[in-house]
Chains A and B, each alone.
Chain A
């Protein structure tokens, strides 16, 4: 709901509820608020927030908590009192010792976590489905991208037997050429997929095939990574330009097959 990670949010709210019910001490509240906000920013969203933004938010949180605790003499005294007791009273000596070990430990862990974080290149915004050209020429045959359809799609209703033949041919082409990267089940998880960036398309995804016209898919199959327009840069897709290896018919067949296999229909003309 609203892109939130509900179990986490509810759990945090529940802890807050318990604290309110038990009338927790100011210091406990401050620690809870800081911790809960950290957990919320870090895990509370279905799509994680970028680390840089989390840092900004946590900085503001810390600033706000410190200024709350110190914004009146009484509140400051109340907040600091348990800490003073922890340090001064003999019966908390064990807890104090534990804390004195834990704090540097925490810092050490933080340093360790920072250093062992896998190195990552900074990201560039890139279009996943860049705009296609208006016309496409494959094997000396020019089609209008806006109106072209898979020439064998209409057999699905007119001649199911012939349609089946084309799908079968598409299956052969797919498992001879495509499944290495796009996977047995077309999940974009073939045996070579982990070595590729950008990763191969996942054809099971409802956002991919059904959202594209079959002419778009044909364009991508025929022209591959080398035919990617400049608008999609930096783009280093490893997909070959299949027009150099396959006939036009084979390409339309595999196009038919991947739709048929996943049970999707290409996006209709003019449909948005």
Chain B
């Protein structure tokens, strides 16, 4: 007697097996559900310190700064400049611009100054699809200043944009 699996059954097994294998691959990689960013509320009485916390939340959420583009405290071949110490470095980037002015410029007009060795690629984040409001921009700036510097921005600060 010869044992053999009939051809149609083999085909079905092949189709099911291959599909199951690829589906399994999908199950073993990290599982992350990305929900639309919840609205971050900024109220008028927030202090600079509160803004830093909101800014940090925005950076990895709605603002998307840390979602694949920038890093904090990494070296090696990077896609875009590392933000570690930017709060201290900001004032020395462009002559005539204070740290605050430089940070505001690099968020509203990213193409105005490109860090040497990197390609131009950032979009103005006050425009769609990211569309940060002016208050949210201030929060992000406060967070940036806190990376190696002392945050000074408040909700009353005029960013000039």
Contact = CB atoms under 8 A, between A and B. Distances in A.
Direct contact of A and B (CB under 8 A): yes
Interface of A: 52, 127, 130-131, 133-135, 146, 230-231
B72 A134 contact: no
Contact of B73 (A131, A134, A135, A146): A131
B104 interface: no
Contact of A135 (B56, B72, B147, B150): B150
B56 A131 contact: no
Contacts of A230: 56
Contacts of A130: 73
Interface size class of B (residues with CB under 8 A): 10 to 19
B149 A134 contact: yes
A219 B17 CA distance: 58
B87 interface: yes
Chain A's interface: helix, strand, loop or mixed, by majority?
loop
A241 to B, nearest CB: 19
Given A134-B88, A231-B147, 11 more contacts: A131-B73, A131-B84, A131-B85, A133-B148, A133-B150, A134-B87, A134-B148, A134-B150, A231-B72, A231-B73, A231-B84
A130 B84 CA distance: 9
Contact of B147 (A52, A131, A146): A131
B150 A131 contact: no
Contacts of B73: 127, 130-131, 231
A139 to B, nearest CB: 19
Contacts of A127: 73
